[in-house]
A and B are shown apart, each in its own frame.
Chain A
Amino acid sequence: MTVESRVDKTNVSRSEIGAQVIDCDVHELVLSPKELAPYMQEPWREWSLRWLGPSPIRYVHPLGASTGTNVALRKESETPRLSGADLSLMQEEILDRYGMAHAVLTSSFFPGAMKVQAEFATAAASAYNDWVIENWLERDPRLLGSICVAPQQPEQAAREIDRVGGHPQMVQVMLPIIDSGYGHPSYHPIFAAAVRNDVAVAMHQTGDTAGPNGLPPYYAQWHAEIPLAGMAQVYSLVFNGVFAKFQELRVIVLETGFTWLPHLLLHADQKYKYLGIETPWLHELPSNTLKGRLRVGTQPIEEMTAADFNRFIELMGSEDMLVFCTDYPHWDSDEPLRALPSGLRPELRKKIFYENARAFYRLP
C-alpha cells in the first residue's frame, strides 16, 4: 500500500491568508445510508438498510475521484480515514490548518433530488438532520449546518425546517439543484419556513443536476454546464417573484463558480426592462434585489489575475456577493492560500473570506 500523507501539519497563519476564514462549502459525508438508520422510524428504518443512497454521480470520474473523497494515511498501520467522513481529519485539514472561524457543512446527501418515493426522501432528510447535529455540529462549535429537506413534499419540508431550524448552528436550508425551478408556487412553503426560522436557503448541485440539454456525454461537459443549472434556479426565483414575496429571503448558490454572476445581473435587468409587463409583481431591477439577498460561492474558481478578478467585481457592482468556499474534500476543492489571485485589495479579501459570509449568515 502506498502511504502518502495529504495532511500538511503546518498550520497557516491568518496573516498568510489575509483574513479570518468562513468556508461556506464543506462536505461532510454520509458514507452509507445505513448510518442514518438509527435516526429513522419504521417503516423507513428498514428501507434505509437496503437503500443505495440518493443521487449518485452518473459518470466514471476521469481522474478516478469517486465522490472526491481523499484517503489520508499517515502510517501504514493506521485505519484509513476519509476526508469528509472524519471530523478529526476535517479539523486537521481545514478547520485548524487555516484557523477557520466557521465551516458551513453542506453534505453530499440530497434525498431532495430523488424522483421517486417522496415520503421516504422526506424521512431520509429528517434522519440526516438528526445525524449531522449529533455527529458533527455538537462536536465542534465552528461547524454550521444545512437543513436537509425533500422539496418533493414542500409542506413536510417546511415542517422539517420548523423542527430543526431553531438549532443555533443551523444557518440554511439546502435545496439540491434539480430540473424543476424553485420559483414555482408549490415551493413557497419552504421559503416561508426559511424566513420564519431566520435561516438562509442554499442551492447546490447533485449527481443528478443536469445542463440545459440533460446529462451530456462527458463529465467535463457536465461539470462545465453546472453553473447554467444554478443560473436557471436564480432566474426562477427572480421572475417567479419568490424574492418579491419573501422580502427577508436570503439565497446562496454554491459550487457553481461565480464568473456567471455579472452576466446574470445584466441579463436579468435587461429582461425586466423589456418584458416587465409580464411580471408586474417585480418592483425593482433584479440586480438590486440580488445584490442585497443573493450570495455566490467562489469555488470552483477559474484561474485569473487580480486585475481580471477586480473586473468581475466591478461588473457585479458589489463587493458583497462572493463568499469563499473550499468545497472540501472534493477533487476540485480550492486552496485558501492560492485560489484567489494574489494582489487583491486587503479589504476585498477580508470581505470574501469572512465578512460577507458573517453578514449573510447573521453571525456575531
Chain B
Amino acid sequence: MTSAATVVRVCSIEELGIGQMRKFTVAGKPVLLVRSGDGRYHALRSICSHQGVDLSRGSVTGRITSSGVGEYRYTADFEIVRCGRHGYQFDVTTGRCLLDPKARVKIYRVHVEGNDVLVEVDA
C-alpha cells in the first residue's frame, strides 16, 4: 500500500461470482470490480478510454484467439471487460486494450482480507 493511497472496503467475497462485475465509487473515483475465471478480483477505472462510456454497462467475457483463418478458440478466463458501446476490450489484469495499442484503462490494487474485498486508489 502506498502512503498516498486510500483503501476502501467495497464488498464481501461472496457478493461477486466468477465472471461478474460491479461498479463502486471509491474516493470519488468510478471503480469496476471484476472477478475473473481463476477467482481473483481485479479493479479498473470504469470509464472506457475510447469515448468515455461507463464500462459497467458492458460485459465480462472470455478471450477469443485463433490459430488460423476461420478458426476460433474461446477461453472462459473472464479476464476481459468489453465496452458495451464500441466493443473495446480491456485486459483486467493489465488495463491494456486488446486491439488498440494506444488505449488502456487505469487498474487499481485489490486486497482480500478475510471476507472483505478492498480496493486501493491513489489519493
Contacts and interface: CB of A to CB of B under 8 A. Distances in A.
A193 B72 CA distance: 26
A277 B101 contact: no
B21 to A, nearest CB: 18
Contact of B69 (A185, A275, A276): A185
Given A277-B87, A277-B89, A280-B64, A272 B69 contact: no
Nearest to B99: A276
A241 B70 CA distance: 9
A277 B69 contact: no
Interface string B46-80: 00001000000000000011101111110000000
B66 A280 contact: yes
Contact of B87 (A245, A275, A280, A285): A275
A121 B73 CA distance: 40
Interface residues of B, number: 20
Contacts, number: 41
A240 interface: yes
B68 A281 contact: yes
B99 A273 contact: yes
Interface in A224-280: 240-241, 244-245, 272-277, 280
B87 A274 contact: yes
A275 B99 CA distance: 9
A-side interface size class: 10 to 19
B74 to A, nearest CB: 10
Contacts of B41: none
B69 A244 contact: yes
Contact of B98 (A275, A276, A281): A276
Contacts of A281: 66, 68-71
B70 A185 contact: yes
A275 B89 CA distance: 10
Interface of B: 50, 64-66, 68-73, 86-89, 97-101, 103
Interface of A: 185, 240-241, 244-245, 272-277, 280-281, 285
Given A245-B69, A274-B87, 7 more contacts: A185-B69, A240-B69, A245-B68, A273-B100, A274-B88, A277-B87, A281-B66
